[in-house]
Amino acid sequence: MKSALITGITGQDGAYLAKFLLDKGYKVFGTYRRLSTPNFWRLFAVDVYDKVTLIPAELIDSASLTEALKVSEPDEVYHLAAQSFVGASFEQPVGTGQVTGIGVARLLEAIRSFDPKIKTYQASTSELYGNNKKEAQNEETTFSPASPYSAAKLYGYWMTRIYREGYKMFCSNGILFNHESPIRGLEFVTRKITNAVSRISLGLQKKLVLGNLDAKRDWGYAPDYVEGMHMILQHHEPEDFVFATGEAHSVRDFVEKAFAVVDLDWHKYVETDQRCKRPLDVNHLCGDYSKAKEHLGWKPKVKFDELVKIMTKADVERWTRWQKGEVFPWDAPNHLDELHILSRALKA
Ligand code: NDP
Ligand code: GDR
C-alpha cells in the first residue's frame, strides 16, 4: 500500500486530495497546525476525518516537518500548506515569505535528508504570471509576480526545480489556476460571493461589498485539480504542468451568474469598497493546459457556469439547513464580516 503525506490537509485542496488518495487505496497522513480552536470541518465535510492520520506540523519549524516524514514514511509528499491568501500577503509580507516561500526549502531539505527518493508535489500557482501580457499562460510563459504571496511562491517554484536538477529528486510543480468549491475559504472572492448571495436570497443579509470587479480569473473545480496533482507524481519523470480551464471570466461575471442562480438582479445588492482592493492586483489570468492534456490525459470536467451553480446551491442549502436548526460541519456561521477585520493599512 502506498503512503502519502499531505501538508495542509485541513485546507480546501488537502481535504479533497485526501479523499481522492484514500479512494485510490493510499494510506494518507496529513499535517495540521495546533490552533486554539480545532479546524477540521473540511475533513468532516468530505468524510475523511477518521480515515486519515493527522500529524501536527508548522512550516516555520523544520523539526516538525522531519517528524512528519518519520511518522508517515511517505512514497509521495503533496506540499499544499501555505499562507495562501494573496490579500493577506500584503498585510503579512514577511510571514508569508517565511511560510509560503522558505517553508518549501525547509520541507525539501527535510525530504533530502530523510529519503531523497520520495516524490514531491509543489503547489505552484498562476499568480506567478502576475500581469504578464500574454493572452493565455503556459509552462513557458515568463513569470512576473505582483504580490508578496506570488514572490514567495516564485521562490518555492525555483527551489523545487533546483532540488530536481541539483539532487535528481522527483520534485514537480503543478502551476494551478484558481480552483474553487463549496469548501473554499470564505476570504476568497468566489465563496465570499456565493455565501453572500445565499444569505441575501434568504433575507439574512442586505448587501455584498467587493473590491475589483474587473479582475479576470480562470476558475475551475477543485476536485478536478487534485486528480491532476496525483497524475503529476505518477508521470514517468518529474516535470511541471499547468492546470486550468482555458476560460477567463471577470469577478463581475461571477457575481451576475451567482445572483442569477437565485433569480436576483445583482445590481441591487452589490457595492464596491476601496478596503476590499489590493495595493496591486492581477488583472487577467487564463491558462493553457495543453501540456497536461497531452502528457497526462488531464482535462477539467467542470467549467465556469456549472461551478457557480454548484457553489451557490451548496451555500443556499447550508443556510437553509442552518435556519432549521441543523448542525453540520461548516465554516460560515463563525465568519466575521470582513469589513470589521480588514487591516487599517488598507483603509481608503
Ligand atoms: P487553503 O488556504 O485552503 O489551505 C492552506 C493549508 O495550509 C491549510 O491546511 C492551512 O492550515 C495550512 N497552513 C497555513 N499556514 C501554515 C503554516 N504556517 N504551517 C503549516 N500549515 C499551514 O489553500 P488551498 O487548499 O486552496 O490551496 C492549497 C495550496 O495550493 C496552497 O499552497 C495554495 O497557495 C496553492 N494554490 C491554490 C490554488 C487555489 O485556487 N486554491 C491555486 C494555485 C495554488 P489551517 O487550516 O490551520 O489554516
Ligand atoms: P486570488 O483569489 O487572489 O486569485 O488567489 P481571490 O479569490 O482572493 O481573488 C480573485 C480576484 O478577485 C478580486 N476581488 C476580491 N477578492 C477577494 N478575496 N475579496 C473581494 O472582496 C474581492 N473583490 C474583488 C481580487 O482582487 C482578485 O483579483 C487564489 C488563491 O487561492 C491563491 O492561493 C492561488 O494561488 C490563486 O488563487 C491561483
**Closest protein CA for atom 4 of ligand 1:** 11
Give the residues surrounding ligand 1 with Cβ less than 6 Å away: 8, 10-14, 33, 35, 39, 58-59, 80-84, 99, 123, 125, 176, 178-179, 185
With beta carbons less than 8 A apart as the criterion, state whether 96 and 140 touch.
Answer: no
Distance CA 193, CA 308 (A): 10
In the chain, where the domains are located:
3-179+219-243, 185-218+248-283+303-347
As annotated, the active-site residues are 125, 127, 149
Distance CA 194, CA 205 (A): 12
Confidence category of residue 300, pLDDT binned at 50, 70, 90: very high
Confidence category of residue 347, pLDDT binned at 50, 70, 90: low
Which atom belonging to ligand 2 lies closest to the Cα atom of 276?
A: 21
Q: What is the mean pLDDT of residues 315-343?
A: 89
What pLDDT score was predicted for residue 340? 74
**Closest protein CA for atom 36 of ligand 2:** 178
With beta carbons less than 8 A apart as the criterion, state whether 55 and 68 touch.
Answer: yes
Which atom belonging to ligand 2 lies closest to the Cα atom of 125?
A: 35
Query: Strands 76-79 and 27-32: what pairing?
Result: unpaired
**Closest protein CA for atom 34 of ligand 1:** 84
What pLDDT score was predicted for residue 335? 85
Tell me how crowded residue 1 is: count the other CB atoms within 10 A of its CB: 6
What pLDDT score was predicted for residue 348? 47
What pLDDT score was predicted for residue 254? 98
pLDDT > 90: percent of the chain: 94
Structure confidence by residue, pLDDT tens digits, 118-151: 999 999 999 999 998 888 999 999 999 999 999 9
Q: What is the mean pLDDT of residues 35-57?
A: 97
**Closest protein CA for atom 33 of ligand 1:** 84
Q: What is the mean pLDDT of residues 283-303?
A: 98
Distance CA 111, CA 131 (A): 34
Structure confidence by residue, pLDDT tens digits, 212-226: 999 999 999 999 999
Which atom belonging to ligand 1 lies closest to the Cα atom of 98?
A: 18
Which top CATH class is 185-218+248-283+303-347? alpha beta
Q: Which of 331, 175, 289 is nearest to 240 (CA)?
A: 175
Distance CA 228, CA 232 (A): 6
Quote the cell numbers at residue 208: 455584498
Query: Strands 76-79 and 3-7: what pairing?
Result: parallel
For the cut 90, the answer to whether the pLDDT of residue 283 exceeds it is yes
Which top CATH class is 3-179+219-243? alpha beta
Q: To the nearest whole number, what is the mean pLDDT of the chain?
A: 96
What pLDDT score was predicted for residue 342? 65
**Closest protein CA for atom 10 of ligand 1:** 8
What pLDDT score was predicted for residue 189? 98
What pLDDT score was predicted for residue 310? 98
Choice from 104, 188, 281 to test ligand 2 binding pocket (greatest atom count within 8 A of CB):
188
Give the residues surrounding ligand 2 with Cβ less than 6 Å away: 84, 86-87, 125-127, 177-178, 187-190, 192, 210-212, 215, 217, 251, 276, 278, 281-282
With beta carbons less than 8 A apart as the criterion, state whether 287 and 218 touch.
Answer: yes
For the cut 90, the answer to whether the pLDDT of residue 325 exceeds it is yes
What pLDDT score was predicted for residue 343? 59
The whole-model pTM stands at 0.98
